[in-house]
Amino acid sequence: MMAFVKQLNGMSIPNDLDPSRFARRIRAHALRMVFRAKASHIGSCLSMADILAVLYTRVLSIDPLNFHDPDRDRFILSKGHAAAILYAALAERGFFQVDELATYCERSSRLTGHVSHGVPGIEVSTGSLGHGLPMAVGFALAARADNRSSRVFCLLSDGECDEGSNWEAILFAPHHGLDNLVVIVDFNKIQSFGRVSDVLDLEPFADKWRAFRWNTVEVDGHDLGALEQALSAKLTQPGKPTAIIAHTVKGRGVSFMEDKLEWHYKSPSDEQLVQALAEVGI
Amino acid sequence: LRTTFVKTLTEIADENPNIWLLCGDLGFSVLEHFAARHPKRYVNVGVAEQSLAGIAAGIALSGKTVFIYSIGNFPTFRCLEQLRNDVCYHGADVKVVSVGAGFAYGSQGYTHHAIEDVAIMSALPGMEVFAPCDPLEVRVATQLIAGSGNPSYLRLSRAGEPVLHSAEPADLRVITFLREGGDVALLASGPIVSLCLEAAEQLAALAIQAAVVSVPCLKPLDEASIMHLAQGGVPIITVEEHVMRGGLHAGIASLLVAHPKRPVVSGLGIPEPVKKISRGGNREELLSESGLSAASIISRVRAIVGR
């Protein structure tokens, strides 16, 4: 335990907001967390690491010392099973001590296996898919009614786009002109039973968002520059919400996990952890 | 009842800029009053109850008090997980208002009969459940939940229900005696209270004095008053426009089971409609076919008091 905490401490560089190094560190944290807890979903964490890194270093207007500022941006992780790497990002961003990551999934820890609003920096708990976007729409409506500058970001998995509740909200947001709302889809093309194209094909995916009248952008979800450009873009189409379809690779950054369904479930062995950490560059 | 609700809510919203009203494309000729007065705080989300509940949670977590309004089982069962996860577990200040309680929608069939809703809503953590019996209780209930800060369920019948109270009840969390009587106590929630009053009137002609008690708050139940009532040993009969499992009778029976002087507790409710195919009929007719009429209340009372 102590050795583990020291390792985590050694990895942390306070206030280092370089997105590339931030992404490496949160990948490493997540790997250690799921290794120690023998938890699932590391593939889902790694596929969105770069998106989180850009959001938390370059995009979100949030202050860990004044988290309840009503003018803050909201980030909602609807794919709540990828909690480990979000907790890692929040710790790296200064919402709580990096040491605490070592308690992930332990008895009485705040850091539960699915996203919990008991954790500083978390807006809402998620874990049942298809809940995040309607709530994000509610945040966006309230922010607009109060004339706040807040933007609301909601990260969805591709698999959860099977949920009808998402499509209710996808229909709603453009009708109400919620241009303060940004959806990012972590489109890694694998859902829990197999390839999205085999389980329930979403294609033509971007066209669906366009048909629902969203300002729709497709990016390489591992290109930090492209992500920053897409996420920070000033309104190009006032009155329209933005959908960023981020093409990603499940398990990205660890060669033996990349694009492999099994890493939705498995946790790494001792040897695999060593190799994985070496590959992510820690 | 729904007209009283909207009128009261609009008045509250006139004073309180944090009150919002969302509907699931239902409430035609009812909600327009609020919508006209407070267009920026009224949203028809469309026929989309999951989105309705999730959006309400997001608005509420931004510091507002959000009422969501629809018919029967739509704002409850259709979005049950959103109410559980997004509203209740977050303690979001969302009020679920359902119109058409019990058999209020008569011939429309079982899709529109809300007869298991109290059980399901009561199971949600922190959800307070109100079933007012007349316009005066609706008014007080609306004011109460608008200021409670707690997730709440308001179960309304439809329109034209008579006033049963002589004056506005001061506190809707406690039971109210609408009629005194020492031989038996009839406890009921919602407009079916009027059937109890009718039965009590006829029982008086048989020299049986029945108390009639309105229980507008089903969760939290007014345990102190009900325990006190039981102290006298008078038989208690619950009457509800709901299945017996998980409703008024279940709540009172499980409370009184531990009472040292537990009186006879009996209940009248809607039998579980297993594989039941709907037939036409108005509310009163459907209630009667389910064994809920003044006559059936009278016969239950006579069987228990032995007269």
User: Residue A1: its pLDDT value, please?
Assistant: 39
Task: Tell me which residue in A124, A145, A165 faces B50 most closely, judged by beta carbons.
Answer: A165
Which chain A residue lies closest to B22 (C-alpha atoms)?
A: A138
Interchain contact A118–B (C-beta under 8 A): no
Beta-carbon separation of A168 and B82 below 8 A: no
What DSSP string runs through B216-263?
-EEES--HHHHHHHHHTT--EEEEEEEESTTSHHHHHHHHHTT-TT--
Q: Give burial (CB, 10 Å; 0-12/13-18/19+) of A30.
A: buried
Residues facing A185 on adjacent strands: A156, A245
Structure tokens at A136: 């994000």
Contacts of A127 in chain B (CB under 8 A): 85
- Rg of chain A in Å (alpha carbons): 18
Contact A59, A232 (CB under 8 A): yes
Mean pLDDT (10-residue bins), chain B, 307 residues: 95 98 94 96 98 98 98 97 98 97 96 98 98 97 98 94 95 97 98 98 98 98 97 96 98 94 96 94 97 98 95
Min distance A19 CA to chain B CA atoms (Å): 29
Handedness of CA B210, B215, B218, B220 (dihedral sign): negative
Cis peptide upstream of residue A134 (ω within 30 degrees of 0): no
Owner of token pair 């069939």: B109
User: What single-letter amino acid sits at B163?
Assistant: V
Confidence at residue B22, expressed as pLDDT on a 0 to 100 scale: 98
Least CB-CB distance to A139: which of B45, B58, B81?
A: B58
Alpha-carbon separation of residue A36 from A19, A101, A245, A254, B198 (angstroms): 25, 10, 32, 17, 68
Contact assignment for A135 to B40 by CB distance below 8 Å: no
pTM (2 d.p.): 0.96
Per-residue pLDDT of chain A (282 residues; tens, 9 = 90+): 344 444 554 455 567 899 999 999 999 999 999 999 999 999 999 999 999 999 999 999 999 999 999 999 999 999 999 999 999 999 999 999 999 999 999 999 999 999 999 999 999 999 999 999 999 999 999 999 999 999 999 999 999 999 999 999 999 999 999 999 999 999 999 999 999 999 999 999 999 999 999 999 999 999 999 999 999 977 678 999 999 999 999 999 999 999 999 999 999 999 999 999 999 998
Q: Is the dihedral of CA B166, B168, B170, B172 positive or negative?
A: positive
Residue pairs between chains A and B whose CB atoms are closer than 8 Å? 90
Task: Give, in order, the Cα–Cα distances in Å from B205 to each of B164, B199, B202.
Answer: 20, 10, 5
State whether B51 and A134 contact (CB < 8 Å).
yes
In this structure, are strands B265-270 and B236-243 parallel, antiparallel, or unpaired? parallel
pLDDT confidence of residue A3: 44
Closest CA to A154 of A132, A139, A126: A132
Residues of B in contact with A176 (CB under 8 A): 43
pLDDT reported for residue A15? 72
DSSP states of chain B as a string? -HHHHHHHHHHHHHH-TTEEEEESS--TTTTHHHHHH-GGGEEE--S-HHHHHHHHHHHHTTT-EEEEEEETTTTTTTTHHIIIIIIITTT--EEEEEESBBTTTGGG-GGG-BSSHHHHHHTSTT-EEE---SHHHHHHHHHHHHHH-S-EEEEE--S-PPP--SS--S-TTS-EEEE--SSEEEEE-GGGHHHHHHHHHHHHHTT--EEEEE--EEES--HHHHHHHHHTT--EEEEEEEESTTSHHHHHHHHHTT-TT---EEEEEEPP-TTPPP----HHHHHHHTT-SHHHHHHHHHHHHT-
| Cα→Cα distances B72→A127, A134, B6, B87, Å | 28, 22, 17, 19
Length reported for chain A? 282
- The answer to whether B64 contacts A142, with C-beta atoms less than 8 Å apart, is yes
